[in-house]
Each structure stands twice: as C-alpha cells, then as structure tokens.
Amino acid sequence: MRFHSNCIKLRDILLLLSFFISGASALIYQTCWQRSLYSVIGVDIDSITIIVSVFMLGIGIGGMTGGWLADRFSNSRLRFYIFAEISIAIYGALSLKILGHLESILNQISSNSAGLSALACIAFLIIPTILMGMTLPLLTIALNEKRGNIGVSIGRLYFLNTMGAAAGAAATPFIFFPNWSLHQVIWIGVAGNLLVAFLATASIHWLSSRQGVTV
C-alpha cells in the first residue's frame, strides 16, 4: 500500500510540474503570437480585444472538449493530454509560417475591416487555443479519479498553471526577447510542450510498470 502511494505521489509530482511548464509555454506563445498578429491586423484597442477574445473563446471550447473526452474515454485521459501538448508544439513550430500565409491572403484581399481581422485571428488562434483549453479538464479528472476531491485537484492545477503562466509572461519580454529572436522564443515554447509530453509519458510508464495501474 505504501509503495502504491509513493508511485501515485511521484506520478502527481511529474504531472503537476508538467502543468506549470504548460502554463509557461502558453504565455510564451500568446506573447509571441500577439506581437506577430499586430504586424498583420495593426495595434489598437480593437486588435487587442479581438486577440484576447479569440484566446478565451478557444480555451472555453477546449475546456468543454477536454471534459467530454475525459468522460467518454476514461482510460485515455493522460494520452489525450500528451496528444494535446505535442499538437501544440507542432503548431507552434509552424505558427510563423502559417501566419505568413495568412498575411499574404489578407494583403491580396486588401481590406482592413475589423470583421476580417477577427476572422484572421480566429483562423490563426482557434486550433492551438482549443488544444490548450483541453488540458485542464483532462489532467484534473486524471488526478482526481483516485481521490474523489475535485476541488483540491482543480485548485492545485489552476494555481500551478497560473504560476507557470505568470513566469512565462514575465520571462518573455524581460529575458527572452532581449536575447533571442521571435522565432527562437517560440521554439522555447515548443521545447516546453515537448517536455510536458515527456513528463506525462514518464508518469504513465512509471506507475503502470510498477503497479499495472491504468491511467
């Protein structure tokens, strides 16, 4: 029993650390993508509002999607979490190229309307933000299934994710941008997502190899 408890604790530490890093990577992306989008749709209160609104929309949709997947596929929650993080990393690696193509399309249309700017932001941000939003319910339910205290699980994860986001938001303008290019900073976010996927995979193999526990 004690051995089993120690395995669970180590798994939890790996997953909690992964969610801290996930939050940091998300804010690295948000800061970089906002800066990139400003060159496409301009810098004013409308563009800032549109970008933040699309982020929140995608995260909300992702939260509902992640909750549905966690309920529907109870034996694959952490695998969906890993899939989401790897998918974010892939999108992050390709994001500036995607934005370049989007900018070319907008230049051909030659329109500066707020509606078109909103559509451009949705097209660029909706996929990665949905994936980001999926991670919290997937990880919350995966951690809570052995405890039955959903409030503690959500609070702990939300706190660590928020601390990671604060770290990413502070480090990006004050440490990363002064020393590296935008492209290089995005690759820091990519590396963070891949590290998250590695930690989550390690947690699965650590627990299942010792106890045969399905996660």
Helix 77-109 crosses helix 182-211 at what angle (to 10 degrees)? 160
Most confident of 25-29, 43-47, 135-139: 25-29
Among all chains, which residue has been given the structure tokens 């997937």? 138
Indicate if the pLDDT at residue 210 is higher than 80. Answer: no
Token representation of residue 83: 């899939």
The residues spanned by each domain of the chain are 24-211
Q: What is the pLDDT of residue 108?
A: 81
Range 24-211: architecture per CATH = Up-down Bundle (1.20)
Token representation of residue 113: 């309307």
Give the span between the Cα atoms of 139 and 28, in whole angstroms: 21
Instruction: Look at 63 and 74; give whichever has higher pLDDT.
Output: 63
Give the span between the Cα atoms of 83 and 77, in whole angstroms: 10
pLDDT tier at 213 (50, 70, 90 boundaries)? very low
Give the span between the Cα atoms of 211 and 1, in whole angstroms: 11
Q: What is the pLDDT of residue 204?
A: 84
Three-class SS state of 44: coil
Give the span between the Cα atoms of 194 and 211, in whole angstroms: 26
* Tens-digit pLDDT profile for residues 79-138: 999 999 999 999 999 999 999 998 888 878 766 666 787 888 999 999 999 999 999 999
Q: What is the pLDDT of residue 39?
A: 82
How many residues are recorded in the chain? 215
Give the span between the Cα atoms of 160 and 53, in whole angstroms: 23
Most confident of 3-12, 36-45, 188-197: 188-197
Whether residue 40 contacts residue 165, with contact meaning beta carbons closer than 8 Å, is answered with no
